[in-house]
Each structure stands twice: as C-alpha cells, then as structure tokens.
Structure 1
Amino acid sequence: MADWRRLLYGAALLTGLLGQLLLIASLRDRHVLPQRWMQFDRSAGRDAPAHHTVATGLDDSVPRLIIIVSSSPRSGSSLLGEMLSTSINTAYFFEPFYYHLKQNISMASLSGAEVRATVTQLLNCHLEESPVLREAKFRRFVWKSRPPVGQVPPSTGVLARRCRTADTRVVKLVRPPLSALLPLLQDDQLGGRLRLVHLVRDPRGTVNSQLHASGVWSGVHRDPTAPCRRLRADLAAARPLRDPRYARVRYEQLALQPRDTATDLLRQLRLPWPTSLDSYLRRHMNASAAAAGRLQDPPARLKARMTTDQVRQWRQHARSRTRSKYFSTFRAPDFDPSHWRKELRPDVLQQIESECADVIAELTEDADETLKKGESTLTEQ
C-alpha cells in the first residue's frame, strides 16, 4: 500500500511539473518573448531564445546600458530611442548635449573625454553631478522616462533615485561623433552591460528632411553635403570595430520593417524585448495621414465644393500643422523613407551624389549585405 502512495505522490509531482512547463509555453506564445526569437537548441534538446546563442561572452546583467548615436539629425533616432525605452522601468535621456547647444558650446570645442564624462554620468545615474540636468528646463527636455516630469520637474536627486532603480538606461545622441563614444566599450566601470547602437541614413534623405525645416537646420542651405562628412567620419571610425556590443541600424530598414529590425537588433545585442513595444509599434507605425502630418490637401469630395481661397487657407493650416508634427515619431502605413527621390531639387541631388558617392556606396553595400543575411536566415528556417 505504501508503494502505491509513493507512486501516486510521484505522479502528482510530475503533473504539477508538466503544468508549469505548459504555463511557460503559453507565456512564450503570448509574446512574452516574440516567437521568431525562438530557435531549437540542439545541444540542450529544447527551445531556447535565439539571442542567448549569439554574441557569446556578453554581460546581460541588469541594469542594461544602451547608447543610441546617430550620424546626423533627422535620421530616425527619436523613433529608435522610444522603441528601446518603451518599458516603464527605463531611464531615457534624450539629447543631453542640447544643453551645450543652448549654452553656445560647440561640439567641436569638447574633447572626447568630456563627451564620455557627460554620457557616463547619465549611464551611472550620477545626475547631481551633471550640468546638463542642473536647470529645470533642461531636466524637462532631457528626461523622457515615464511618468513624464511635468512642468515642474523633480530635483536631480529624485531623478537619480528613479534612474538607479531602472532595469534599462538609454541615452540618445545626435551631436557627438561616434569616435568620441567608442572608447566607452572599453570602460571597465560600464563593463559588458553597455550596448552601442549606430543609426545611419542615406544622406540624400537626411538633407531633404532638414530642408523641410531650414529654420531649424540653417546650415543645410549653405552646405548640403555637411551631413556626409560627419557620416563618412563615423563609418571610418566603426570600420575596424569587431565588438558584438556594437550594432549598426539603417534608418530605411527601420522605417520599412520596424518590428523585424527591432527583433534582429535586440537579438544581436542580446537584449530582451521591451515591455509595450508591440503596442508602441501598432500605434506609431499605423498612424493616419493627418496624425503623421502628411495631409496637405482636403479630401477630394470636400475640395470639389471649396473655393480657391478656402483651399489655400486649408493648405496654410495643413502646413502649420505639419511643422508641429515635424519631430513626430508617428508614421502612416504607406510611409516611404525614400520620398526624397520626389522632393529634392535636381541641383541639390546632383551635388550630394557627387560629393558623397563613397558614403552612399558604402551604405548601399551594407544594405545589400543585410538583405543577403536575411535571405540566408529564411533559407535556413
């Protein structure tokens, strides 16, 4: 009789264990981890997240530290920054060197060590020491974590305490050169927790976007090839790099395939899928034309009943609304990241393509290589 009791007890334990395994599987299927991240781990004989089998040797301990650096403004860095900081427990620092811009401190006057010191203070949550957060107006601009700070932002001490409890800390930058940030990968204090994401965009698209708000980017009219020189220098700085903590992302790929691009990026860097990223992508990548700031003309049926003056007033209002949405991260489903082809003046296009031919060629080659890797992955699957 005792043997039967032991058998029944063992069966109950096995049933409980099976229930836990089924629960784990159901959580996975409900996208706690995206299904496409799962691959069969033959060595273990079970399904395992693919990002656990790549970039071996990386330290994925909490807190995770992410730097997003773009080679120029208007390259989608705000979109990528929001995507990687959707989790509620993230400290997100948006353009800290905006402080230097408003203080008339040029980036050229800052040494690489000074740039790194500013970024390191934020990543380590030493916010009381950082001049970029000393004034309330800059704390309101730079600190983009949830919940928002409101019109009267908390002190740096309060924000520092929030920062130290965050699972992930993200710093988004467009002003420092990549060469000033690469030594941070060798910083013993940051260790293997650091990830460096380099966002690049075709310079023709960058210039076209800047020309839409020439009052913000006044220099683009004087020299439309300036973004090329910065991008050329950043590509040269990254070329010898063989560090799995560095990843390059093309804006065009991010805009056309945001979910696939995010999945590949997070898998490469061995980072978890951020909480709420799915809902963020649904909202931001499926905006109406009006929400995306692209509705210039009234609908055709309404336009047919309007006078010429009414149409003109509509367009003026639409242009004003578009300017207010210039920095928006919402995109309509039919958004074309290569819309510069229809909008750039022929003389400007010729100048960029003439003086930036090497940069455009390298980005095109990089895009072709990415496409080949994607096709290879699909073939293996």
Structure 2
Amino acid sequence: MALKIKLLKLFTLVAVVIVLHYFVLGIIMIYSYSEGGGLWTTEGTPNQSLSASLGGVRHRVPNTKDIAKGMTAEGNPEPASGNNNEENEEGEAREYPEGGGRLSPPATSSSPMFVLLLSSLARGGSTFMSELLSTIQRSIVYFEPLWYIEKMECIQDPLCATEYLLAAFTCTFKPDFEKWLMGRHGFFSYFNADVRVCLMMKDNKSKNECLNKLSLPEMCRAAPVRIMKVIRGRISWLKDILSDPKINLKIIHLTRDPRGSLNSISKFGPTWPHDPHERCSVMKDDMDAYDKLSPKFPSKLLQVHFEDLCLHPENAIGNIFKFLFGNSSLPTATQRYINLHMNTEVKPNAMGTIKKSKSEFEAWRYKIPERLLSKVEVEPVCLYTIHRMRHTVFGTLERVRNSSIPLILP
C-alpha cells in the first residue's frame, strides 16, 4: 500500500512538472508573439514557381488513404523568394559584407524564410532547438512532419519527400496533413502561440472550439519565418533546393556525439531503433553531404554541435541568429528562454528541455552501460563520426567515467 502511495505521489509530481513546463513555455511564446513587429519589416518580391528546382517533375505525395495519391495541392506551389546563389552567372564569388557572413534578405509573409532544423540522430537536442527557434517573432514550427509519411513509400524517395516538405513550407498541403497535424496535440503545440493558447485550455469543449477556429494554411501564410524540425530527413535530399535562388532556405544541421544520443535512445526500449551501425551511418551521410555542400552554399548551411550549444549557449545561439538574420543580437524572448532552459537545476526528465546545460553535454559519460559503450566504439562508422567531431574514444568504462579525461579534444 505504501509503495502504491509513493508511486502515485511520484506520478503526480511528474505530471505537475510537465504542466508547469508547458505553461511557462506557453507564456514565453505568447509574450514573444504579442510583441509583434520584429526583425523582418521590408516588403519582399512576388513568389516564384519552384518546379524547376524539382526538375519539373511533380511527384505524388501519399495521404492516409492511398500512398500513391498526392498530399500537395494541385498545380505548382508558390515558393518564397530567397537568397541568390553563392556565385553569379559568371562563376565569380559574390561580395560579403564587412565583418563576416552575408546578410540575409529580410523575411516577410510574402517572401518567407524557410528554416530546416535537421538532426542526424534522435535525442540530439533538436526539440530544445525547435523550442528556442519558436521564440522568433511571428514564426511557426512544424514539429516532425516526416513522422506522418515515415511508413509510406514517399519517405524512400528523396524527391517525393522533399516535395512533401516544400508543401508544408509553402502552405500548399492537403486537408489530410492539416487534420493529422492538428490532431496530434504534442506536435501541434510547437506551431505557434495561438495554438498553445487553445491547447492550454482545461475545458475540452472550449479547447476544441478554439482549435476549430484556427486555419493552418492561414497561419502558415502569415508567418515570415517557417521552421521545420526533422530527424528523418537527409541533407543530401536538398541539393536542388539549395541551388534554387528563388527559395530562401536555411539549413541548421545539429550534431551530437552518437554515444550520448544512443545512450538516451536506449532508455526508450526496442520501439526506438538503436542499432549503432544504422544510426551512425545516417550521421556520416549528413556530415559528408554538409562538407560537400557548405562550401557552395555558405549562407544556407550551418552546422551546430550540441556540445558547443551546451558549453557556450549564448555564443552558439548568437551565431545561429547571425546565420539567419545577419545579426547575432538575441531577442528578449530568446534570452528569457535560454535562462529558463539552460541555467536551471531540476530533477531529471528524459523528455524535458529544462536542464543545466554545462553539465548536460557529457552527462551520458556517467550513465552509459559498458556494453553499449563497447558496441558503439567498435563500430567503424561510429568511430568515424566521433573522430570527425574531435571527441575522445575512451575504450573502457573506467576512462569514460574519469572526468579528468576531456571529451572534446583540443
């Protein structure tokens, strides 16, 4: 009986922490959203067709009834006006502004910026990053849209999957997608402040009435910055889109030491794929694609290491904002989010994003089982990614637990 009471108290405590987490996050996002205005005020140019960037082929994207039927709207979607190519028609390098990277064109609802947050591995910090980016005024966030087609044929076809992502970015999705997203409250809660206001209502009738008044296409079209968080996409899929000067796409590639990701994944049981070779192969492919494409598109690709984000959050996040907007200054709402989520001591919560960041980046070292450590460190493709990050290969449980041995090599 005493055990049952203790378990009930523990469950209640966890529930309260989760509710408080989303309540505080909601207040922050609502405040940010209500400030209006923002960084992007200049009018943009009319939208252009993106069919050329897809080779003129319209692949059909699946819906819930038939994986051979298209999810995107009929005809060519209208894309954003974006950055020019890194080189002009004569192949000459374009000039960069004094003091660093290129300044991005201002984003407006008629000329939006598409931000793809791509993490090679699950449990790599992408949820935290998507919450952080959602503090950008008047932005929207698609949380794991590829989950919808994960078990469909489209996900195996890079062109089909890319077109599916563009349909979401350009607000040209079909009702099936809208119904799916609005029905998954856990994913939909990231979309914007209006959605969170509805979802925070305790009365189900009021909540549903509030949600029914929302129009996903209208909210999408009104957003000058459209963010998408994915762990199921690959950088190599996006070469043609990056080459299109009419599409203002920014890719943030988030990496984390595979031992940390795989240790976290292992806690969720066999339903989460955790084969080191499979997981690290995906990461290697993204690293190689990034190395190949980033010199061609330096203003469209940025790689962010989870470890740097934890150790030097303001510098790392400032670099992200400079990459997106040409200015490393952080909005008040973003600074507030950093203070809450990266400098707060709380009880461990596997799915939470409120953590003490400077210890979080290598917390896995003191938790990973010896068997898993050995399994990852003997896998060649995992060793490849660890060496690429300039991280230490520990070899034994004694060494990985030894805090005097640094994770990050000089």
TM-score class, shorter-chain normalisation, is 0.5 to 0.7
Specify the alignment match of 2:15 in structure 1: none
Q: Does 1:59 align with 2:116?
A: no
- Asked if the contact 2:115/2:228 (under 8 Å) is kept, the reply is yes
Compare the two structures and name the one with the higher helix fraction.
Answer: 1
Task: Tell me the TM-score normalized by structure 2.
Answer: 0.61
Q: Does 1:212 align with 2:267?
A: yes
SS at match of 1:358: helix
Task: Tell me the distance in 2 between the aligned counterparts of 1:83 and 1:91.
Answer: 12
- What's the CA shift string for 1:278-304, capped at 9, x where partnerless? 1111111122322xxx2xxxxxxxxxx
Specify the alignment match of 1:249 in structure 2: 304
Task: Tell me the distance in 1 between the aligned counterparts of 2:147 and 2:241.
Answer: 21
SS at match of 1:99: helix
Task: Tell me the distance in 2 between the aligned counterparts of 1:117 and 1:86.
Answer: 27
Cα distance change on mapping 1:51 and 1:275 into 2, 3 Å = farther
Task: Tell me the distance in 2 between the aligned counterparts of 1:113 and 1:357.
Answer: 31
Cα distance change on mapping 1:140 and 1:158 into 2, 3 Å = farther
Determine which of 59, 82, 98 is the counterpart of 2:131. 82
The equivalences for 1:25-40 within 5 A come to: none
Q: Does 1:282 align with 2:339?
A: yes
- What's the CA shift string for 1:50-92, capped at 9, x where partnerless? 9874333743333222110000110000111111121341111
Q: Does 1:133 align with 2:178?
A: yes
- What CA RMSD, in Å, does the superposition of the two structures yield over aligned residues? 3.1
Determine which of 287, 290, 297 is the counterpart of 1:238. 290
Task: Tell me the distance in 1 between the aligned counterparts of 2:164 and 2:213.
Answer: 15
- The residue type paired with residue 195 of structure 1 is K
- The residue type paired with residue 359 of structure 1 is T
- Asked if the contact 2:259/2:376 (under 8 Å) is kept, the reply is yes
Gap runs ≥5 in structure 2 = 1-37, 40-95, 200-206, 392-405
SS at match of 1:65: strand
Task: Tell me the distance in 2 between the aligned counterparts of 1:184 and 1:130.
Answer: 25
SS at match of 2:261: helix
Percentage of matched positions with identical amino acids: 24
Specify the alignment match of 1:229 in structure 2: 281
Determine which of 194, 202, 211 is the counterpart of 2:249. 194
Deviation for aligned residue 1:326 = 2.2
Cα distance change on mapping 1:177 and 1:130 into 2, 3 Å = farther
- The residue type paired with residue 246 of structure 1 is L
Q: Does 1:68 align with 2:117?
A: yes
Specify the alignment match of 1:358 in structure 2: 384
Specify the alignment match of 2:356 in structure 1: 332
Specify the alignment match of 2:221 in structure 1: 164
Task: Tell me the distance in 2 between the aligned counterparts of 1:224 and 1:66.
Answer: 29
Specify the alignment match of 2:169 in structure 1: 123
Specify the alignment match of 2:192 in structure 1: 145
Specify the alignment match of 1:111 in structure 2: 157
SS at match of 1:68: strand
- Asked if the contact 2:104/2:326 (under 8 Å) is kept, the reply is no
- Asked if the contact 2:101/2:326 (under 8 Å) is kept, the reply is no
- Asked if the contact 2:251/2:301 (under 8 Å) is kept, the reply is yes
